Amino acid sequence: MGLLDFVYEYTPFIAEGVVVTLQISVISFLLGLALGIALLGLSLTSLRPLARMYIEPVRGTPLLVQLLLIYFGLPSIGIKLDAFTSSFLALGLNSAAYQAEIFRSALKSIPDVQILSAESLGFSGSQVYRYVILPQALRISIPSLVNEFVTVVKESSLASVIGIVELTRRGEYVAAYTYRALESYLVVAAIYFAVCYLISYLSRRIEEKIRIPGYT
Which of 87, 95, 136, 184 is close enough to bind ligand ARG by CB under 6 A?
Answer: 95
Whether the CB-CB separation of 52 and 43 falls below 8 Å is answered with: yes
Q: Cβ atoms within 10 A of the Cβ of 23, count? A: 16
Distance CA 186, CA 192 (A): 10
Residues within window 121-150 making contact with ligand ARG, judged by CB under 6 A: 148
CB-based burial, 111-132: b 16+ in 10 Å, e otherwise: eeeebeebeeeebeeeebbeeb
Q: Which stretch binds ligand ARG (CB under 6 A): 3-11, 94-102, 127-135, 174-182?
A: 94-102
Q: State yes or no: residue 101 binds ligand ARG (CB under 6 A).
A: no
Minimal distance in Å, beta carbon 120 to ligand ARG? Answer: 39
Which of 87, 102, 137, 155 is close enough to bind ligand ARG by CB under 6 A?
Answer: 155
Which of 86, 87, 94, 136 is close enough to bind ligand ARG by CB under 6 A?
Answer: 94
Minimal distance in Å, beta carbon 179 to ligand ARG? Answer: 29
Which of 98, 103, 149, 192 is close enough to bind ligand ARG by CB under 6 A?
Answer: 98
DSSP, res 185: H
Per-position DSSP letters for 49-83, written without gaps between them: HHHHHHHHHHHTS-HHHHHHIIIIIGGGGT----H
Q: Which stretch binds ligand ARG (CB under 6 A): 38-46, 59-67, 76-84, 123-131?
A: 59-67
Region at 179 (left for phi over 0; alpha for psi -120 to 50; beta for the rest): left
Minimal distance in Å, beta carbon 116 to ligand ARG? Answer: 34
- Rule CB under 6 A: which residues touch ligand ARG? 62-64, 94-95, 98, 148, 151-152, 155
